């Protein structure tokens, strides 16, 4: 900006009069108001994401910061002056104990420049944002202020920052440093917004105490000034909902124009570490970008995401293209608020001016849509064009019929296939999902994994491609039946795959893949009378087939474990001469009758008769049956849940003391089911729609699992050596989850191991070492000293929550899962 004394500018459509541009605000360096305004204008793009939707308190130096001999007067300002505040400044009203104040939200460059114009050199914001309705949301970041006492250097603060980083890393957080521009260092870590300010403050306080306990010579967590001489105060209190922190990239009201500058961990290790002034910060951002960008990425507005509308709700564009009085298509007035988390899909064959297929995935309460001129690809080697079009309402998922001539998309529409999908990735430029269609649908009745990737071919942002991902277990799609449906076999028909087996012959053929539940919460259960609630058992999912007096037990990934659990052979007697296919969970119980997954670990993978017999005596197996899929060749999977439960109770009637049991279901009483589950020490409950059918091999929202403690299956990609007692063995496992064609790093786990587990893991992993990491996105600090292994072992951890950067927080090891394949691991929740 020009440095005349007065100037009127237009910023984002807002006119703003800038005055006294020649006034010197930093006498020591000669920095003028024009320089300050120019800085805030240049830094706006990287600063605003960190302050957007956060109430801003301001420190104003109307006459400048002064000199050491004659310091300038500072005005601390909360409430906006209605007389002098432009009407375009977005405001938020907050009621305090003694007052109600109106604060600005620094959501655009114009507001930022206006604050600079009135000499608001410092901008302070809380760790929480204001919601769409003006409410205060939970914090989306944690902050630690490392404040040096007398005699302590910035290098000492950096040392404490590294100690704090180690703890935060173990918590699954990803701390990012900011030199405050004043004395010390701020550490930020993104949160997912699931905890209140009080809860986050409590965690930060405990973290500060832990640092003080480990390093009493340099760290103090108590605010008393008398205790801070020669030490670094780990100030945890700025996580309090009533407090604010200097905003990243804000100027400071020091005698030199320093800035709260985001830094890298490499910089913090430099012996030349110092605070930066605004000119240096601008040069760094121009050269390197924003080191703190990931902090606000998870909290950014969804306005730029796939399918988001530029204004109004996500159906604004859809409605603008249709007249409800002229087309039979659904034209709802609003987006359904209750369907944001569904996973339905539909592919429609659309005989418009040009034949194409409409590919639609439910996401955020709408059907995000692409038009496929050549239909879904049937060969992984051949990609097809996918044109991203306007979001459609969920009601469109059942639409079939004729769109009248003269209306948008005129022509005949048929449903080519529909069902539910498993989501692997949803990003602004990439979506990966496995579709489970109908047995007689156009996808051929087999799961199909598709990747949709934005290519912007020809400079058009709507141009994507759709790719059929390779899956050796999946046969080619029904390439010859676009627009036609195959004849479906009626429910209950005996086929070669479901018929009986002559007595005594081993059971062969592909085992049944179990139906899978989706992780959810009690809030998703709207009408309890429509649901049944079963206990969630902490064990191994297993399908039991009894045919011709022969038993076969198979796990979710198809492994035959019949020999591992001979103590479940009584299933043949319980079948009483009938052929049955049952679904249930293999568990081991404590003396108190509670499932013990650690005890079950001692049974897994054993095949030698002597070992199996000894283990069965120590930890007898039990089979908790909760579904029946077939009886004497009659396929029951298309029958509703209530009918299958009745058939199960008729078919399986074991004595009370038998290791095979049919646990009761709680009809229409979630609270009672949850209370019983906790009382019994179980993992949670599974809510099942009473009119739902059994979807073989599919993860469905007709079954919702509600856990007391969160668990996650993970893939082991490496390990780091331990210290102290564990110096010669594993200290922590480095974990990943399948993401597209690779494994995405989700953190490390160093607790929950027994000595036996460590010995077993050391032996197993030692035989599978490799030179390079199989995990994507491992921070250098976590990778230091790591031993990498081939990603062939699946395990399970218990954890507190997912962090804002998609890492496991406070994971604890539960054990290996030999019943699971790597490709079956999905992110829970």
Q: Which residues belong to the active site? A: 536
User: How far apart are the C-alpha atoms of 142 and 175, rounded to whole Å?
Assistant: 9
Q: Give Cα separations from 232 to 142, 215, 266, 318, 662 (angstroms).
A: 18, 10, 21, 57, 60
Buried b (16+ CB within 10 A) or exposed e, 196-219: ebeebbebbeebbebbbeebeebb
- Say which residue the tokens 């390093």 belong to: 215
User: Shortest CA distance to 121 belongs to which of 31, 252, 255, 275?
Assistant: 252
Buried b (16+ CB within 10 A) or exposed e, 112-128: bbbbbbbbbbbbbbbbb
Question: Hey, which residues does 451 pair with through a beta bridge?
Answer: 432, 467
User: How far apart are the C-alpha atoms of 585 and 564, rounded to whole Å?
Assistant: 14
Report the interhelical angle of 33-51 vs 278-288 (nearest 10°).
Answer: 50
Q: How many CB atoms neighbour CB 224 within 10 A?
A: 8
Buried b (16+ CB within 10 A) or exposed e, 463-484: ebbbbbbeeeebeebbeeebee
Enter the tokens of residue 235.
């100030």
User: How far apart are the C-alpha atoms of 481 and 458, rounded to whole Å?
Assistant: 32
CB 574 within 8 A of CB 660: yes
Enter the tokens of residue 606.
């054993």
How many angstroms from the chain centroid is the CA of residue 402?
Answer: 40
User: How far apart are the C-alpha atoms of 365 and 338, rounded to whole Å?
Assistant: 7
**No. of H helices and E strands in the chain?**
15, 46
Q: Residues near 268 by Cβ (< 8 Å), separated by ≥ 6? A: 158, 161, 162, 177, 185
CB 748 within 8 A of CB 734: yes
Enter the tokens of residue 717.
């990609």
- Say which residue the tokens 């049991």 belong to: 661
User: How far apart are the C-alpha atoms of 804 and 173, rounded to whole Å?
Assistant: 8
Query: Could you write out the three-class secondary structure of 156-219?
Result: HHHHHHHHHHHHHHHCCCCCEEEECCCCCEEEEEECCCCCCHHHHHHHHHHHHHHHHHHCCCCE
């Amino acid at each position: 900006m020009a440095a005349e004394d007065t100037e009127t500018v237009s910023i984002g459509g807002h006119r703003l009069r800038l005055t006294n541009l020649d006034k010197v605000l930093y006498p020591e360096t000669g920095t003028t108001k024009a320089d300050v305004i120019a800085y805030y204008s240049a830094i706006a793009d990287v600063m605003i994401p960190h302050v957007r939707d956060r109430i801003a308190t301001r420190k104003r130096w109307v006459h400048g910061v002064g000199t050491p001999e004659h310091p300038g007067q500072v005005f601390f300002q909360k409430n906006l002056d209605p007389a002098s505040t432009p009407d375009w400044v977005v405001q938020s009203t907050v009621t305090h104990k003694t007052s109600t104040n109106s604060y600005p939200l620094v959501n655009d460059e114009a507001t930022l420049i206006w604050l600079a114009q009135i000499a608001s050199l410092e901008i302070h914001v809380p760790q929480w944002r204001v919601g769409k309705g003006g409410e205060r949301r939970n914090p989306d970041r944690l902050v630690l202020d490392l404040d040096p006492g007398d005699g302590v250097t910035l290098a000492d603060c950096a040392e404490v920052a590294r100690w704090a980083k180690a703890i935060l890393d173990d918590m699954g957080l990803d701390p990012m440093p900011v030199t405050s521009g004043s004395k010390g260092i701020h550490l930020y870590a993104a949160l997912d917004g699931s905890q209140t300010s009080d809860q986050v403050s409590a965690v930060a306080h405990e973290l500060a105490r832990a640092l003080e306990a480990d390093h009493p010579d340099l760290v103090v967590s108590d605010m008393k000034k008398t205790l801070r001489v020669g030490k670094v105060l780990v100030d945890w209190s700025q996580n309090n909902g009533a407090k604010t922190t200097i905003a990243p990239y804000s100027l400071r009201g020091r005698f030199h124009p320093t800035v709260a500058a985001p830094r890298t961990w490499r910089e913090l290790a430099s012996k030349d570490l110092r605070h930066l002034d605004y000119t240096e910060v601008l040069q760094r951002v121009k050269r390197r970008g924003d080191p703190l960008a990931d902090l606000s990425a998870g909290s950014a507005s969804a306005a730029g995401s796939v399918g988001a509308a530029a204004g109004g709700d996500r159906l604004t564009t859809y409605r603008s293209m249709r007249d409800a009085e002229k087309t039979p298509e659904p034209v709802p007035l609003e987006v359904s608020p209750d369907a944001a988390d569904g996973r339905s899909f539909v592919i429609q064959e659309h005989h418009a001016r040009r034949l194409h297929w409409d590919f639609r995935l439910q996401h955020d309460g709408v059907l995000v849509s692409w038009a496929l001129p050549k239909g879904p690809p049937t060969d992984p080697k051949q990609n097809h064009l996918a044109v991203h079009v306007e979001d459609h309402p969920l009601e469109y998922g059942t639409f079939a019929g004729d769109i009248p001539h003269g209306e948008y998309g005129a022509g005949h529409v048929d449903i080519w296939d529909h069902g539910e999908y498993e989501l692997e990735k949803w990003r602004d430029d990439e979506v990966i999902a496995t579709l489970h269609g109908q047995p007689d649908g156009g996808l051929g009745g087999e799961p199909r994994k598709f990747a949709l990737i934005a290519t912007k071919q020809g400079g058009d942002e709507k141009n994507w491609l759709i790719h059929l991902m390779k899956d050796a277990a999946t046969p080619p799609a029904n390439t010859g039946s676009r627009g036609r449906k195959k004849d479906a076999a009626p429910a209950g028909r005996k086929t070669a795959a479901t018929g009986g087996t002559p007595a005594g012959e081993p059971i062969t053929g592909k085992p049944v893949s179990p139906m899978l539940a989706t992780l959810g919460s009690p809030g998703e259960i709207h009408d309890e009378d429509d649901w049944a609630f079963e206990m969630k058992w902490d064990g191994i999912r297993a399908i039991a087939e009894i045919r011709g007096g022969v038993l076969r037990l198979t796990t979710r990934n198809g492994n035959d474990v019949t020999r591992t659990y001979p103590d479940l052979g009584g299933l043949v007697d319980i079948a009483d001469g009938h052929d049955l296919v049952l679904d249930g969970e293999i568990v081991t119980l404590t003396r108190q009758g509670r499932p013990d997954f650690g005890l079950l670990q001692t049974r897994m993978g054993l095949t030698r008769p002597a070992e199996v017999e000894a283990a069965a005596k120590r930890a007898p197996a039990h089979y908790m049956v909760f579904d029946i899929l077939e009886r004497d060749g009659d396929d029951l999977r298309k029958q509703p849940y209530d009918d299958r439960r009745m058939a199960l109770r008729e078919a399986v009637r074991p004595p009370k003391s038998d290791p095979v049991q049919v646990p009761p279901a709680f009809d229409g009483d979630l609270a009672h089911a949850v209370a019983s589950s906790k009382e019994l020490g179980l993992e949670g409950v599974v809510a099942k729609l009473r009119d739902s059918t059994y979807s073989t091999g599919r993860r469905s929202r007709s079954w919702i699992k509600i856990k007391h403690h969160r668990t996650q299956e993970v893939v082991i990609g490496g390990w780091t050596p331990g210290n102290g007692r564990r110096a010669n063995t594993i200290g922590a496992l480095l974990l990943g989850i399948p993401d597209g064609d690779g494994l995405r790093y989700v953190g490390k786990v160093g607790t929950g191991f027994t000595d036996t587990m460590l010995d077993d893991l050391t032996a197993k992993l030692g035989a599978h070492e490799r030179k390079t990491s199989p995990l994507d996105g491992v921070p250098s600090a976590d990778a230091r000293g790591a031993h990498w292994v081939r990603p062939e072992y699946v395990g399970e951890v218990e954890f507190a929550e997912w962090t804002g950067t998609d890492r496991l927080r406070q994971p604890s090891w539960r054990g290996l899962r030999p019943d699971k394949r790597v490709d079956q691991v999905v992110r829970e929740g």
